[in-house]
């Protein structure tokens, strides 16, 4: 994005301005600023009080403490960027066409609120309320969805200040989510125009920023076998159920809309929306998050790379949930593991790799699906028994989905 020289000059300039501002406006939030997380990745604060002040102490290592994998030695510079980097969506006649199916549009607006509320409560010392007050707040919004798409950053400002790069990645991939659905819902494009436009949107997604998520089929068994894995679903099953309900909707809607007329789409969403609200949001018995190719096989077969991006995005959400829910980690460890999770699913980490191949034996670069075949989340123990996979285990090589 920027040359090293420019970046360091900017940091020096910022340091000067920060000092001046600090004299003018005394801080109400106590935290350490680090300009280079590779030199000093730590902060001494542990959690935030709603008023922005720290109110807890670092957890002492306990019996639950596990050996955490280290950060890779050389991380890309963008992973520590301090820029805002808001990028506007592609222009097109299809923008906001999802509002032609108003119920779906509003349900998607509510989804944005739910993730943000949970993240904000997790980083402001309210994790103990997640299954009660937080769940109720999110559930109210799900039942009374907002008219317009909220800006998640506004709902979770504390989370955004701590994990701004992660927020950029989420936001950027959510734009791809939103625009591809707008294309499918647009009555102004033919089916062939829609397919071409979705391909164009995908190119825009991968070429515009360095922090796109990889389009390779990831080994979900590996990603879900980290030392912190499954913490969130075990501690907060109701809220996790909501999240996986969102993922069910965000996957299912593609085949609901794909190659259908607007009338068919509206009629179909009456059924899909009913199932979403009555059943899928409140399920707590899923062994794993819904995978895109399971719920939208037609779209996934046509656009496997987009399908993979969305699965990997949702897996990143799960990894972040698990990290934030692991109270045996220090704040510094959480920050490092979130950074590592970003690195694991980023396109840059898997550059030049191909689907259908395995690179190394650790599981991270295990992309053994046929080229063009959407990933189905290789699991070491299969779907039925997937609840406590062996940590860092390598999936069976012949396993090709469920």
Sites of contact with other proteins (CB under 8 A): 10, 13-14, 17-18, 21, 24-25, 27-33, 43, 50-52, 82-88, 91, 96, 99, 113, 117, 120, 124, 137, 140-141, 144, 146-151, 154-155, 157-158, 160-162, 164
Structure tokens at 16: 């000067």
- Judge contact between 246 and 141, C-beta under 8 A: no
For other proteins, the closer CB: 134 or 225: 134
Q: How far is the CB of 218 from other proteins (least distance, A)?
A: 28
Q: How far is the CB of 244 from other proteins (least distance, A)?
A: 22
Provide the CA 35 distance to its chain's centre, in angstroms. 25
Q: What is the DSSP letter of 212?
A: P
Q: What is the DSSP letter of 97?
A: G
For other proteins, the closer CB: 18 or 301: 18
Rg over alpha carbons for the chain, rounded to the nearest Å, is: 21
For other proteins, the closer CB: 183 or 373: 183
For other proteins, the closer CB: 100 or 393: 100
- Judge contact between 222 and 340, C-beta under 8 A: no
For other proteins, the closer CB: 161 or 302: 161
Measured between alpha carbons, how far is residue 386 from residues 246, 348, 368, 378, 390 in Å? 21, 29, 19, 11, 10
Which residues on adjacent β-strands are paired with residue 357?
367
**Which among 300, 321, 287 is positioned nearest to 215, based on CA atoms?**
300
Q: How far is the CB of 191 from other proteins (least distance, A)?
A: 25
Q: How far is the CB of 290 from other proteins (least distance, A)?
A: 26
For other proteins, the closer CB: 59 or 164: 164
For other proteins, the closer CB: 162 or 230: 162
For other proteins, the closer CB: 153 or 213: 153
Provide the CA 9 distance to its chain's centre, in angstroms. 32
**Which among 174, 175, 185 is positioned nearest to 104, based on CA atoms?**
185
Q: How far is the CB of 338 from other proteins (least distance, A)?
A: 14
Alpha-carbon distance of 343 to 172, in angstroms, equals 16
Q: How far is the CB of 279 from other proteins (least distance, A)?
A: 25
Q: How far is the CB of 144 from other proteins (least distance, A)?
A: 7
Provide the CA 277 distance to its chain's centre, in angstroms. 22
Q: How far is the CB of 300 from other proteins (least distance, A)?
A: 28
Structure tokens at 402: 């469920």
- Judge contact between 147 and 186, C-beta under 8 A: no
Alpha-carbon distance of 143 to 139, in angstroms, equals 6
For other proteins, the closer CB: 7 or 317: 7
Alpha-carbon distance of 395 to 188, in angstroms, equals 45
Other CB atoms within 10 Å distance of the CB of residue 45:
19
For other proteins, the closer CB: 17 or 267: 17
Please give the backbone phi and psi of residue 45, each rounded to the nearest 5 degrees, phi first: -95, 155
Indicate left, alpha or beta for 389 from its phi (over 0: left) and psi (-120 to 50: alpha). Answer: beta
Q: How far is the CB of 18 from other proteins (least distance, A)?
A: 6
Q: How far is the CB of 307 from other proteins (least distance, A)?
A: 26
Length of the chain: 402
């Amino acid at each position: 994005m920027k040359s090293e020289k420019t970046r360091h000059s900017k940091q020096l300039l910022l340091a000067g301005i920060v000092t001046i501002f600090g004299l003018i406006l005394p801080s109400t939030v106590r935290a350490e600023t680090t300009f280079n997380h590779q030199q000093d990745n730590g902060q001494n604060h542990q959690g935030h009080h709603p008023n922005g002040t720290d109110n807890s102490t670092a957890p002492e290592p306990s019996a639950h403490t596990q050996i955490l994998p280290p950060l890779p030695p050389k991380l890309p510079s963008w992973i520590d960027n301090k820029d805002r980097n808001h990028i506007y969506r592609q222009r097109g006649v299809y923008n906001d066409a999802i509002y032609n199916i108003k119920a779906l549009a509003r349900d998607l607006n509510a989804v944005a609120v739910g993730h943000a509320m949970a993240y904000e409560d997790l980083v402001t010392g309210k994790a103990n309320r997640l299954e009660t007050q937080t769940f109720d707040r999110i559930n109210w919004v799900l039942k009374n969805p907002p008219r317009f798409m909220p800006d998640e950053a506004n709902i979770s400002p504390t989370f955004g200040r701590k994990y701004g790069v992660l927020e950029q990645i989420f936001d950027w991939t959510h734009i791809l989510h939103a625009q591809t659905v707008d294309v499918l819902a647009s009555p102004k494009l033919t089916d062939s125009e829609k397919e071409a436009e979705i391909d164009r949107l995908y190119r825009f997604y991968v070429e515009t920023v360095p922090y796109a998520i990889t389009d390779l089929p990831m080994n979900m068994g590996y990603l879900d076998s980290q030392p912190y894995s499954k913490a969130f679903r075990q501690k907060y099953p109701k809220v996790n159920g909501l999240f996986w309900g969102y993922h069910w909707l965000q996957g299912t809607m593609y085949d609901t809309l794909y190659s259908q007329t607007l009338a068919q789409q509206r009629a179909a969403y009456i059924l899909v929306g009913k199932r979403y609200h009555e059943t899928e949001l409140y399920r707590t018995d899923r062994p794993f998050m819904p995978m895109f190719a399971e719920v939208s096989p037609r779209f996934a077969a046509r656009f496997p790379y987009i399908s993979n991006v969305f699965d990997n995005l949702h897996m990143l959400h799960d990894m972040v949930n698990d990290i934030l829910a692991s109270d045996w980690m220090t704040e510094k460890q959480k920050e490092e593991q979130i950074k590592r999770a970003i690195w694991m699913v980023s396109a840059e980490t898997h550059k030049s790799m191909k689907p259908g191949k395995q690179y190394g034996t650790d599981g991270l670069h295990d992309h053994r699906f046929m080229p063009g075949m959407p990933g189905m989340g290789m699991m070491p123990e299969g779907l039925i028994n997937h609840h406590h996979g062996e940590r860092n285990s390598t999936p069976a090589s012949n396993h090709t989905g469920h």
